[in-house]
C-alpha cells in the first residue's frame, strides 16, 4: 500500500523550526509499504524555518498573530492531490500539528495546551473517510 507520510517523520528538515522529528518506526513501515513524503506547510508556500502556528477554531494563527489559514488550506489541498494522484490508501501524519495532528492539537494559545481537534490536512482527509494515523499509531498499520 502507498502511504502519505509527514516528511518530518522521515528525518526531512521541514518543520517550523527547520528541524525534523524522525520516527523510529518509519523504517520498518517502509519495508512493508511505499511511503510518499509530504510537507503540506511547504506545499502551501510557507518557508522553513517559520514562526510556529497553532489552530484556533477554523483559523490557523502564527505566534505573532498573523493569519496563515489560507496557506494551510492550500497546502492541505495540494497534499490531498498527491494522495489521490499516487493512489495512497492512508496517511501517517505528525501528531499535534496544526496541519497534520489527529485527535489532539495545540489550542491556539501557544501555551503548550492540547485540545480535541484535527489539523487542517488530517481533517480534510478524515472527512473523506481516509484512515489517518499519527506516528504514535504506526503499530496499528
Work out how many domains the chain is built from and give that number: 1
pLDDT tens digits, 3-54: 999 999 999 999 999 999 999 999 999 999 999 999 999 999 999 999 999 9
Average pLDDT value for the chain: 97
Half-sphere exposure of 69 (CA within 13 A, CB side): 9
Percent of all residues in the chain with a pLDDT value above 90, rounded to a whole number = 98
pTM of the full structure: 0.95
Contact 34, 2 (CB under 8 A): yes
Report the alpha-carbon distance of residue 121 to residue 77 in Å, rounded: 8
The pLDDT value recorded for residue 67 is 98
Report whether pLDDT(110) > 90.
Answer: yes
Range of the domain at 28: 2-140
The pLDDT value recorded for residue 98 is 98
Contact 60, 120 (CB under 8 A): yes
What residues contact residue 19 under an 8 Å CB cut-off, 6+ apart? 8, 13
Amino acid at each position: 500500500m502507498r502511504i502519505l507520510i509527514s516528511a518530518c517523520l522521515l528525518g526531512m528538515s521541514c518543520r517550523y523550526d527547520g528541524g525534523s522529528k524522525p520516527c523510529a518506526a518509519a523504517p520498518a513501515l517502509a519495508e512493508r509499504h511505499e511511503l510518499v513524503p509530504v510537507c503540506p506547510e511547504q506545499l502551501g508556500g510557507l518557508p522553513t524555518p517559520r514562526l510556529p502556528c497553532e489552530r484556533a477554531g477554523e483559523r490557523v494563527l502564527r505566534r505573532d498573530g498573523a493569519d496563515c489559514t489560507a496557506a494551510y488550506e492550500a497546502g492541505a489541498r495540494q497534499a490531498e492531490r498527491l494522495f489521490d494522484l499516487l493512489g495512497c490508501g492512508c496517511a501517517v501524519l505528525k501528531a499535534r500539528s496544526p496541519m497534520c495532528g489527529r485527535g489532539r492539537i495545540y489550542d491556539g494559545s501557544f501555551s503548550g495546551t492540547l485540545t480535541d481537534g484535527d489539523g487542517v490536512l488530517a481533517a480534510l482527509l478524515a472527512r473523506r473517510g481516509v484512515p489517518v494515523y499519527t506516528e504514535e499509531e504506526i503499530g496499528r498499520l
